[in-house]
């Protein structure tokens, strides 16, 4: 029993030998009317109390996750020459944005067991528990969601997107698209050796609407009637101006 406890204590000390000191170029992202995306630079260093282990190469994994919410994925089929919705599956939880950057191929940097434990890869970050009994291929709906959001740059996997210098300094760039959901973006950094996570660091990036975007967002949520009337007035004014401009051109 004493030997087992000693081994556990030694393992804990070994795990704590390397720790993360992190920095971000910005901890807040402001969404304004002319917002077309942003770049987050994540940089840091590995703090050690012992020499660098020479048994295996240090690897780094960075993830940035936007707010999660349920998503309904529908399947379309062509019937009588018309595309119609047929089956639908609700994914219990899917991040609005999710990026993974690694210092090497993900399969080499992280084992499947650790991926299952920490939910690092894109498929693991999505939670889909159940589906209607009449749908046998529910996994295809999750794959379709990943494919659609990857095409829209909302889901990203950038293997070799993290540079590591002398197994001590690391840096990663994450591109945030223009279509961002407001909220806290969970940022995680993992140190791995031989596919196992040896250290982890968590922080948040605050993404908020500002200026006119914030005012319109609050108006649509708090004064929906006024927001609707204002939208209608703007549409009428735009139509009238377009008509007047066209009439002047014809003259």
**Positions of E strands within the chain:** 18-24, 28-31, 38-48, 59-65, 68-79, 82-95, 98-102, 155-158, 162-165, 169-176, 183-193, 196-209
Distance CA 151, CA 120 (A): 20
Look at residue 149 and tell me if it is in a domain: yes
Identify whether residues 113 and 88 lie together within a single domain.
yes
What pLDDT shows up at residue 67?
94
Look at residue 81 and tell me if it is in a domain: yes
Residue 3 has pLDDT above 50, yes or no: no
What pLDDT shows up at residue 63?
96
Identify whether residues 112 and 236 lie together within a single domain.
no
How far, in whole angstroms, is CA 88 from its chain's centroid?
Answer: 24
| Least trusted range by pLDDT, from 70-84, 136-150, 208-222, 228-242 | 208-222
Identify whether residues 182 and 249 lie together within a single domain.
no
Identify whether residues 99 and 199 lie together within a single domain.
yes
With a pLDDT cut of 70, the percent of the chain lying above it is 78
Distance CA 162, CA 160 (A): 5
Identify whether residues 190 and 250 lie together within a single domain.
no
Q: What is the CATH number of the domain that holds 142?
A: 2.60.40.3880
Q: pLDDT tens for residues 49-81?
A: 888 887 789 999 999 999 999 988 887 776 766
Provide the residue range defining the domain that includes 97.
19-209
* Per-residue pLDDT band at 26 (split at 50, 70, 90): confident
Mean pLDDT over each residue of the chain, to the nearest integer: 81
Identify whether residues 188 and 100 lie together within a single domain.
yes
Pairing state between β 155-158 and 98-102: parallel
């Amino acid at each position: 029993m004493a030997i087992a406890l000693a081994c556990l204590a030694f393992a804990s000390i070994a795990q704590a030998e390397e720790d993360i000191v992190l920095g971000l170029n910005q901890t807040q992202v402001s969404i304004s009317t002319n917002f077309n995306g942003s770049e987050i630079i994540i940089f840091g260093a590995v703090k050690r109390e012992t020499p660098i282990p020479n048994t295996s190469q240090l690897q780094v994994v960075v993830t940035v996750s936007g707010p999660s919410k349920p998503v309904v994925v529908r399947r379309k089929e062509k019937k009588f020459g018309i595309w119609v919705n047929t089956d639908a599956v609700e994914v219990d939880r899917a991040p609005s944005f999710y990026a993974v950057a690694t210092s090497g191929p993900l399969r080499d940097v992280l084992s499947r067991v650790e991926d299952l434990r920490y939910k690092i890869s894109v498929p693991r970050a999505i939670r889909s528990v159940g589906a209607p009994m009449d749908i046998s291929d529910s996994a295809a709906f999750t794959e379709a969601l990943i494919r659609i959001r990857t095409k829209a740059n909302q889901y990203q996997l950038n293997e070799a997107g993290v540079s590591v210098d002398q197994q001590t300094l690391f840096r990663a760039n994450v591109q945030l698209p223009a279509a961002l959901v407001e909220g806290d973006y969970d940022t995680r950094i993992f140190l791995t050796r031989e596919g196992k996570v040896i250290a982890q660091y968590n922080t948040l990036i605050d993404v908020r609407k500002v200026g006119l975007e914030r005012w319109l967002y609050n108006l649509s949520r708090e004064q929906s009637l006024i927001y609707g009337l204002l939208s209608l007035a703007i549409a009428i004014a735009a139509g009238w101006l377009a008509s007047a401009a066209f009439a002047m051109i014809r003259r």
